[in-house]
Structure 1
Amino acid sequence: MKKRESFNSRWGFILACIGSAVGMGNIWMFSTRVSLYGGGAFLIPYIIFVILIGSTGVIGEMCFGRAARSGPIDAFGMATERKGSRKSGELLGMIPVLGSMAMAIGYTVVMGWILKYTVGTLTGATLAPESVDEFGVQFGSMAAAFGNNIWQVVVLILCMGILMFGVATGIEKANKIMMPIFFALFVGLGVYVLFQQGASDGYRYIFRVDKTALANPKTWIFALGQAFFSLSVAGNGTLIYGSYLSDEENIPASAGRVAFFDTLAAMLAALVIIPAMATTGAKLNQGGPGLLFIYLPNLMKSMPGGHVIAILFFVAVLLAGMTSLINLYEAPIATVQEKLKLGRVPACTLTGIVGIVISLLIQGIVSDWMDVLSIYICPLGAGLAGVMFFWVCGKKYVEKQVNKGREKAFTKWFYPVCKYLYVPICILVLILGIALGGIG
């Protein structure tokens, strides 16, 4: 039997998990929600939910993957096999795998936009429009059906090129390079913004605690959604990365570091974007792609050294997005390897072909595509993984897995909190997403 690939180092694994978690949500959604829901009034529930989900769902998915030494299909099958029905588990395991593939396809479209804008900061094309309306026209043209074909193909080739090198020499090395650069760039941007006139208003805006917002249920609901989706619990990427871990790895400690750096990335983005908006007196009431591709470029154009700021910003965003894209494609690639008995390179090639064909076809509807996935498939995948590990596998099995690699047994509250609180939260996220049209 061929030995399963693995990460070469603890920090290689942690950086890969941080890379999977740090993505567009940290940049274009977190800052907007901090602004809309009372600054510190949003941060308080957000941090509570990050701690809760990081110490339950993230640990659980990593442990489940390591226990199965495989992706979601075999992990779910292993769980239900203990109850005498492996096939039903394997069928359910297809949901997070297909969800990961579909999310990767949608993300490919977005990453094509980001690559085009990043190159455009070097050529001058990104900041060429003269008004916010012209920036909107530029983005609308790019985001239309078949409006950005070449850049999408290039970004997917880059992603698959990294993945073809495997876990240690591909995923791990790429994240060891990209994640430190990402954090360094955002720290640098944060220092620059700090010295801009009017930035102090932005900091007051971030850390104010609006009591009315804190009492508003929507603040807590969207803080939950932000934490849930930011930590990438969906029964796929975190689980598959866990499958590459050795039994000596202390998973609760690693999960804690992932949650910390993911939150740090979101805060760094907010500490750049909100004060930058404050320097011009603009209000941050626009989230999603519009913030990244229309309003921020328009702002950067008017800032001192705006051309350089735009280069640094979009390079950082590109790095964050690439690490997430790598993670999203890894689950379907690993599944193709396992189920079709293909080597790494053929599996990447096959997955890449499917990815590029579908991503080119959905360019004009990518927003709706991603909404369906975030509302239905991601929380469903997380919930199914939670049910399989905490309800089907049972207490003794879970505690054995979580305590591998630890000198002291993990808290006795881990299992009951995961079973009776985290799993229902996954169901709640699904219900709230359907009711409110998405909370991620």
Structure 2
Amino acid sequence: MNERESLGSRMGFILLSAGCAIGIGNVWRFPYMVGEYGGGLFVIAYIFFLLALGIPVLTMEYAIGRSSRLSILPAFKKLEPKGAKWHIYGYFAIAGNYLLLMFYSVVSGWILRYFIFAVMGKFDGQTPDEINTIYSRMMSSPKTLIFFMALTMIITVSVASMGLRNGVEKITKIMMVVLIVIMVFLGIRSLTLPGAHEGVKFYLLPNAANVKKAGLGNVLYGALNQSFFTLSLGIGGMEIFGSYIKKERSLVGEAMIVAGLDTFVAIVAGLITIPACFAYGVSPDSGPSLIFLTLPNIFATMKGGRVIGSFFFLFMYFAALSTMIGVFENDVSFLIDLFNIKRKNSALIAGVLITIGSIPCALGFNVLSSFQPLKTGNTVMDLEDFIVSNLLLPIGSLICCLFCTMKFGWGFDNYIDEVNGGKGLKLSKKFKWYFVVVLPMVLLFLSVYGLMSYFKK
């Protein structure tokens, strides 16, 4: 077997984990949800659920990884009782990591294309209709979507091939530092726009009227859902980083820092986008339209918009690419652990598989647009996202939780010993009832309600 690699520093572990968690959803979903669902009241509910749900499950993935020193499938095999079948879910987790990148690579390609557009000044002086045309042309061109998806995959594979410390850790650390610096710059610029204070009021001030309008149940479910999905738990995406660290620090504190950094980026992203939308009198849409239609309209008329737009799409691309590299590390590690393949060969094989597998998603917006799975208006990407987000992530987290708390799994005592190993915050065994009873019930609710609400929309 190849000797297990390890990360070079605690900072590398934190930034790599945070980079994997921080993605485009932080920018196009979280800020809009905060504003629509009661501002500061939603943020309080989100942080509560993050502490109650997201961080506990994150410590479970870290604990499984650090105890086993393996990726998710062989980790379950190593830690499960003899004759148990917990590891079967590992195959679904592997599939989930591959499938996730098969649509995430395509969306990352869109952002890279828009970064180039911004640098070239393509949005300067354009009307809303002309900006719509730019977006439509990109989406209707299979060659464009496949080219920029493939370019993103080449970058991702190249970073992974350079090694865990010299490639994945080093590059991600640089990207994350640059990402935070750009965010602060963009946030200050957005807050100094005329009329931006109205956006800040909408975004962060507690707003009971918006809670009432959205419905308290929807607000609480939205906060619960976001606190869980923001960390991409359930398919071993975080477990892998646990397998690369030593037992110097307890895992609760590390999980809280990673979740805090992810939340910081999400909140600051809103301070970039929401005030700018209010300053220019446009709707702060949720989803791709915010990034590819709404904000380019602002950059087109803003003084210095070309520079601001270029930095914004660079920030967006780094957020997307850090997730790509983090998730791809799982795909590389699977092949290394299961087949004893060298890192460079593993990265190449995984890269080719994902690139080929991403083509249907790219074609789903043009050549295959008539294929509308699950419900009218769906694309191939919607199907892939549904499988990962509505099935594999919540069900995987439930399995992970049961594995770490049940006697016929790894067991609560083994889990708690691993979590508390090292310096830092400790988790009391007095919370066993919460982990064994309450947490699985909440995760089961998320799985079932998430499926029901998807088909009700």
Shorter chain as denominator, the TM-score bin is over 0.9
CA distance in 2, matches of 1:30, 1:210: 16
CA distance in 2, matches of 1:261, 1:6: 22
CA-atom RMSD, angstroms? 1.9
1:231 and 1:383, CA in 2 relative to 1: closer, same or farther beyond 3 A? Answer: same
Q: Is the 8 A contact 2:253 2:424 kept in 1?
A: no
Sequence identity (%): 28
Matches within 5 A, 1:85-234: 85-86=83-84, 88-125=85-122, 127=123, 130-144=126-140, 146=142, 147-214=144-211, 216-234=216-234
Give the match for residue 373 of structure 2: none
1:429 and 1:134, CA in 2 relative to 1: closer, same or farther beyond 3 A? Answer: farther
Moved over 4 A (4+): none
Please point out which of 398, 408, 411 is paired with 2:428: 411
The range that moved more, 359-368 or 196-205, is: 359-368
**Secondary structure, in 3 states, of the residue corresponding to 1:237?**
coil
**Secondary structure, in 3 states, of the residue corresponding to 2:193?**
coil
CA distance in 2, matches of 1:373, 1:189: 32
Give the match for residue 377 of structure 2: none
CA distance in 1, matches of 2:47, 2:425: 26
Q: CA deviation at 1:413?
A: 3.9
Q: Is the 8 A contact 1:96 1:377 kept in 2?
A: yes
Q: Deviations over 1:325-355 (max 9, x none)?
A: 1111121211111112210011111111111
Q: Is the 8 A contact 2:100 2:385 kept in 1?
A: yes
Give the match for residue 51 of structure 2: 51
Q: Is the 8 A contact 1:56 1:417 kept in 2?
A: no
Please give the TM-score of this superposition, normalised by the length of structure 2. 0.91
CA distance in 1, matches of 2:135, 2:75: 41
| Unmatched tracts of structure 1, length 5 or more | none
Give the match for residue 436 of structure 1: 453
Give the match for residue 328 of structure 1: 327
Q: Deviations over 1:268-289 (max 9, x none)?
A: 00011110011012232x2111
- The residue type equivalent to 1:91 in the other structure is I
Q: Is the 8 A contact 1:234 1:382 kept in 2?
A: yes
Give the match for residue 376 of structure 2: none
Give the match for residue 312 of structure 2: 313
Q: CA deviation at 1:409?
A: 4.3
Matches within 5 A, 1:233-252: 233-252=233-252
1:407 and 1:173, CA in 2 relative to 1: closer, same or farther beyond 3 A? Answer: closer
1:340 and 1:227, CA in 2 relative to 1: closer, same or farther beyond 3 A? Answer: same
Q: CA deviation at 1:236?
A: 1.1
Give the match for residue 374 of structure 1: 389
CA distance in 2, matches of 1:157, 1:414: 45
Q: CA deviation at 1:60?
A: 1.2
**Secondary structure, in 3 states, of the residue corresponding to 1:362?**
helix
Q: Deviations over 1:182-230 (max 9, x none)?
A: 1110110111112111001011111232224445211111111111111
Give the match for residue 402 of structure 2: 387
The range that moved more, 183-192 or 395-404, is: 395-404
1:408 and 1:14, CA in 2 relative to 1: closer, same or farther beyond 3 A? Answer: closer
1:143 and 1:234, CA in 2 relative to 1: closer, same or farther beyond 3 A? Answer: farther
How many residues of Structure 1 are paired with residues of Structure 2 in the alignment? Answer: 434
Q: CA deviation at 1:267?
A: 0.6
Q: CA deviation at 1:265?
A: 0.2
1:438 and 1:250, CA in 2 relative to 1: closer, same or farther beyond 3 A? Answer: farther
CA distance in 2, matches of 1:227, 1:141: 35
Q: CA deviation at 1:56?
A: 0.5
Q: CA deviation at 1:3?
A: 2.2
Q: Deviations over 1:214-265 (max 9, x none)?
A: 4521111111111111122123110011111112232111111101111100
CA distance in 2, matches of 1:7, 1:312: 30
Q: Deviations over 1:390-430 (max 9, x none)?
A: 22111221121111113674323444333323332222221
Q: Is the 8 A contact 1:333 1:351 kept in 2?
A: yes
